[in-house]
Chain A
Amino acid sequence: MKRFLLILLTLALAISVTACGTSNEKTLTEPEPIANEESKEATSSEAQKEEEGLKTVINKPVEIEFWHAMSGGHEEALTKITEDFNASNEYIKVKLVNQGGYGDLSQKLMAAAKAKQLPAMSQAYEDWITEYLNNNLVTDLTPYINDPKYGWSEDELNDIVEVFRQANQWDGKYYGLPFNKSTRILFYNTDLLAEKNIEVPTTWEELRAAAEKITVEKDGKKIVGMGFENAFVHEFSTWAYQAGGSFVDEQSLEVKFNSAEGKEALGFVNGMIQDGVARLAGEDGYMSGPFGRGDVAMYIGSSAGIPYVAKAAEGNIHWSATVLPAGKKAATPFAGTNVTVFNSASDEEKLAAWQYIKFLINKENTAYWAEKTGYLPVRYSALNSDSWKAYVEANPVYGVGEKQFDAGFYDPRVIGMNAVKNAMAKELEAVLLGQKTVDEGIEAAAKEAQDALLKANKK
């Protein structure tokens, strides 16, 4: 009998432990699901009655999560803006959740979407949003933007840099808004360039000539003229556009870099690497490390790397940055992410997220963000403000990005971009490591990219 009781007790314990586990998890990640559900129904039926404007009102505390991939100084700046927002709002509280790198963020969002545990909002690249939109996971922000009470005026909307507005519209509707946008810039070591009496390169030819001149081996230490970030697949489109070619057509889903221009682009970069006047970041992960040590004299990287370069260079080298050298054309990608709001959030949470986005990218905050991180201000008003101009005057490297707005492009927002990049990465790498010729590499990359693109879009 005693033993039987013991068994019962153990069983009861086991069940209660597992039960606690599940219920805890729910309350943690899904705040007040029942209350939200009710209010959602109430508001949506209200919204049907009157069609103009949002009827959602926030009159009780709402806490939303914002998943991001910002670390270091970037995260500190984001935290500061968010704390300001929380302090100025009676009911809305935004909780920042750092999910690691962009890859981790993407993977966690996918898993969360499956588990119906998505946060209210997240950072997302354009091609992620396309994928989310295809699975009906993201919210159309247009009604919020146009809302007479909560929205923006025409001027406020048009104040956002045009290319960023375009990149966030799908069939004329906004599913995201620009947050941390960067361009590529050319970092250079002023000491090394001055030593060889070299002007800052503005064209491909000058870049190559400068790299050749600087590359030396002295006292057992090797200095390489030019550096490229590791994942060349993310850089390739820039070179292809600069050569006058094109990359992937968003509308027709055609892979277009298998051209004379595409081959010229890869050939140029590959030539520098094979001749030893350029190198990839390799084991160093990011180019800011070897550049800061003085192992590499110039490199092309994201403007968001400015604080990292500054840190690595401190006490070692003197450096500056400038616009990318141009080939036949000038071209620089707009990288970095946007903020998007998920469908699974309640109406209150969506409105809270919208209020936060408005704050996050208002004139003052987008300028503050840019000053701290090296990302670009996303509003013309911020770019033209006296305080930003004064800042750029004092810190010229921060002003490089905006000089390239006219040459900016963004990557095609197609479904299956990850598969395309995976397929391309392997082939491009094989070329840069000398395993394949440029022609072979481009042809194989284009073929595999096209197959991957068609496969992903077949569904």
Chain B
Amino acid sequence: MNVHPTLKSTLKALLYLSPALMIIGVFNIYPIIKSFAMSFYSDYDYFNDVVYERGLDNFIYIMKDADFWLAMKNTFIFVIGVVPLSIIISLGIALLLNTNIYLRGFFRTIFFIPFVTSVVAVSIVWRWVFHTDYGLLNYFLGFFGVDPISWLTDPAWAMPSLIILSVWKGLGYNIIIFLAGLQNINKQYYLAAKVDGATAFYRFIHITIPLLSPTTFFISIVSIINSFKVFDEVFALFDRRPGPVNSALTVVYYIFDKFYVEWEFGIASAAAYVLFIVIFLFTLIQLYIGKRNVHY
């Protein structure tokens, strides 16, 4: 179809888009603009919306705040811990589910359940799994002679616990996307490779991985963005605290604490903006890498 855009057709498009635009405008665009403005309010009456003073104080404060840097560090550890692990495990499971195994539909459902279950419910169960004296995990580790680990109360283990929970929780979504990607790969390639005598390993490296790259690329972008924004899991797993000695304090938790608990609205907005810029930069880097390595 070759239709030239006219005023009429543009208006029509806007009309169709308006419901979505309205919702995005109220819940996304407006808060983005407002929090940008708020990050520069150094003296602010939040309830009556009166600004007494504007400046860079909030940004200066977070740059000097050790907790903010701790939150940044923890968030990076979380991203590095969760994203690759989650992608590798879910790709493996997706490959298995893509073969003709018994009860395939059943397993697909099982793996998707964690994703659709509420984080709070999941965390309560995991809190029990992680329990030092009565937890399942330590019980199983006990068979291998591992001493009980204080998963949730030892600062050294808090982040690994959080990563385990998050990887497990995110698997279902990634598996579904990978499965869709795998099914889009034309079977002809595999047949041709077989004729040429390529082993399963070579078929995986030279057909599956390159042809799956758009899917992997999509998953890595979405996972990284989501991992940077981790909050619910921390809040629920550590019972409304950022882990022992702030060992699971993430940037969004920091923002939440500053905003809702300490009523430091400007600082929270400034921190939110710094996080936004970090995520933005990472996405740009990924797009750059993606352009060179993704085969469509």
A interface with B by C-beta (< 8 Å): 7, 10-11, 14, 18, 101, 103, 106-107, 110, 113-114, 131, 135, 137, 222, 230-231, 280, 282-283, 285, 295, 416, 418-419, 422, 426, 429-430, 433, 435, 452, 456, 459
By a CB distance below 8 angstroms, the chain B residues around A107 are: 260-261
B264 interface residue (CB < 8 Å to A): yes
By a CB distance below 8 angstroms, the chain A residues around B152 are: 282-283
In contact, A282 and B240 (Cβ under 8 angstroms): no
A7, A101, A135, A418: the one contacting B261 at CB < 8 Å is A418
In contact, B18 and A110 (Cβ under 8 angstroms): no
B153 interface residue (CB < 8 Å to A): yes
How far apart are the CA atoms of A392 and B153 in the complex, in Å? Answer: 38
Tell me the nearest residue of chain B to A113, going by C-beta.
B47
Per-position 1/0 for B229-264, Cβ under 8 A of A: 000000000011100111000000000010011111
Tell me the nearest residue of chain A to B256, going by C-beta.
A107
By a CB distance below 8 angstroms, the chain A residues around B12 are: 7
In contact, B263 and A131 (Cβ under 8 angstroms): yes
CB distance from A424 to the nearest CB of B (A): 12
Tell me the nearest residue of chain A to B43, going by C-beta.
A459
In contact, A11 and B18 (Cβ under 8 angstroms): yes
Per-position 1/0 for B129-162, Cβ under 8 A of A: 0111101000000000000001011110000000
B22 interface residue (CB < 8 Å to A): yes
Query: Can you give 24 contacting A-B residue pairs, CB < 8 Å?
Result: A7-B15, A7-B16, A14-B18, A14-B22, A107-B261, A110-B260, A114-B47, A131-B263, A135-B46, A135-B47, A137-B47, A230-B239, A282-B150, A282-B152, A282-B153, A283-B127, A283-B135, A295-B133, A419-B264, A422-B261, A429-B245, A430-B245, A433-B245, A456-B262
CB distance from A11 to the nearest CB of B (A): 6
Per-position 1/0 for B17-60, Cβ under 8 A of A: 01100100000000000000000000101110000000000000
By a CB distance below 8 angstroms, the chain B residues around A18 are: 22
- Kindly identify, within residues 48 to 101 of chain B, every residue whose CB is under 8 Å from any CB belonging to chain A: 67
Tell me the nearest residue of chain A to B22, going by C-beta.
A18
CB distance from A316 to the nearest CB of B (A): 15
By a CB distance below 8 angstroms, the chain A residues around B260 are: 106-107, 110
CB distance from A91 to the nearest CB of B (A): 31
How far apart are the CA atoms of A239 and B23 in the complex, in Å? Answer: 52
How far apart are the CA atoms of A18 and B240 in the complex, in Å? Answer: 34
- Kindly identify, within residues 239 to 296 of chain B, every residue whose CB is under 8 Å from any CB belonging to chain A: 239-241, 244-246, 257, 260-264
Tell me the nearest residue of chain B to A116, going by C-beta.
B47
How far apart are the CA atoms of A7 and B241 in the complex, in Å? Answer: 50
In contact, B246 and A426 (Cβ under 8 angstroms): yes
**A-B contact count, CB below 8 Å?**
71
- Kindly identify, within residues 152 to 178 of chain B, every residue whose CB is under 8 Å from any CB belonging to chain A: 152-155
In contact, B15 and A435 (Cβ under 8 angstroms): no
Choose among A101, A282, A430 the residue with the greatest number of B CB atoms under 10 Å from its CB: A282
The 6 closest A-B pairs by CB, nearest first: A419-B262, A107-B260, A14-B19, A282-B153, A429-B245, A430-B245
In contact, A422 and B257 (Cβ under 8 angstroms): yes
| Category for how many chain B residues contact A | 20 to 34
In contact, A110 and B263 (Cβ under 8 angstroms): yes
In contact, A429 and B244 (Cβ under 8 angstroms): yes
By a CB distance below 8 angstroms, the chain A residues around B135 are: 283
In contact, B245 and A435 (Cβ under 8 angstroms): yes
By a CB distance below 8 angstroms, the chain B residues around A10 are: 15-16
In contact, B244 and A11 (Cβ under 8 angstroms): no
CB distance from A75 to the nearest CB of B (A): 19
By a CB distance below 8 angstroms, the chain B residues around A230 are: 239
B244, B257, B261: the one contacting A433 at CB < 8 Å is B244
By a CB distance below 8 angstroms, the chain B residues around A231 are: 241
How far apart are the CA atoms of A88 and B262 in the complex, in Å? Answer: 41
How far apart are the CA atoms of A452 and B261 in the complex, in Å? Answer: 13
In contact, B240 and A101 (Cβ under 8 angstroms): yes
How far apart are the CA atoms of A250 and B248 in the complex, in Å? Answer: 32
Tell me the nearest residue of chain A to B152, going by C-beta.
A283
In contact, A433 and B263 (Cβ under 8 angstroms): no
In contact, B262 and A416 (Cβ under 8 angstroms): yes
How far apart are the CA atoms of A114 and B44 in the complex, in Å? Answer: 13
CB distance from B160 to the nearest CB of A (A): 15
CB distance from A415 to the nearest CB of B (A): 9
How far apart are the CA atoms of A231 and B22 in the complex, in Å? Answer: 43
By a CB distance below 8 angstroms, the chain B residues around A7 are: 12, 15-16
By a CB distance below 8 angstroms, the chain A residues around B130 are: 283
In contact, A135 and B45 (Cβ under 8 angstroms): yes
Choose among A106, A135, A231, A433 the residue with the greatest number of B CB atoms under 10 Å from its CB: A433
In contact, A283 and B245 (Cβ under 8 angstroms): no
CB distance from A15 to the nearest CB of B (A): 9
Choose among A11, A295, A429, A435 the residue with the greatest number of B CB atoms under 10 Å from its CB: A429
How far apart are the CA atoms of A430 and B132 in the complex, in Å? Answer: 19
Choose among B16, B153, B262, B264 the residue with the greatest number of A CB atoms under 10 Å from its CB: B262
CB distance from A112 to the nearest CB of B (A): 10
By a CB distance below 8 angstroms, the chain A residues around B244 are: 429, 433
With A11-B18, A282-B150, A283-B153 known as contacts, the answer to whether A418 contacts B262 (CB < 8 A) is yes
6 additional contacts (CB under 8 A) given A101-B240, A430-B245: A14-B22, A106-B260, A280-B153, A283-B135, A426-B246, A429-B245
By a CB distance below 8 angstroms, the chain A residues around B47 are: 113-114, 135, 137
How far apart are the CA atoms of A101 and B120 in the complex, in Å? Answer: 14
- Kindly identify, within residues 87 to 132 of chain B, every residue whose CB is under 8 Å from any CB belonging to chain A: 127, 130-132
By a CB distance below 8 angstroms, the chain A residues around B154 are: 433
How far apart are the CA atoms of A394 and B153 in the complex, in Å? Answer: 39
By a CB distance below 8 angstroms, the chain A residues around B240 are: 101, 103
In contact, B263 and A283 (Cβ under 8 angstroms): no
How far apart are the CA atoms of A103 and B19 in the complex, in Å? Answer: 35
By a CB distance below 8 angstroms, the chain A residues around B241 are: 231
In contact, A11 and B153 (Cβ under 8 angstroms): no
By a CB distance below 8 angstroms, the chain A residues around B127 are: 283
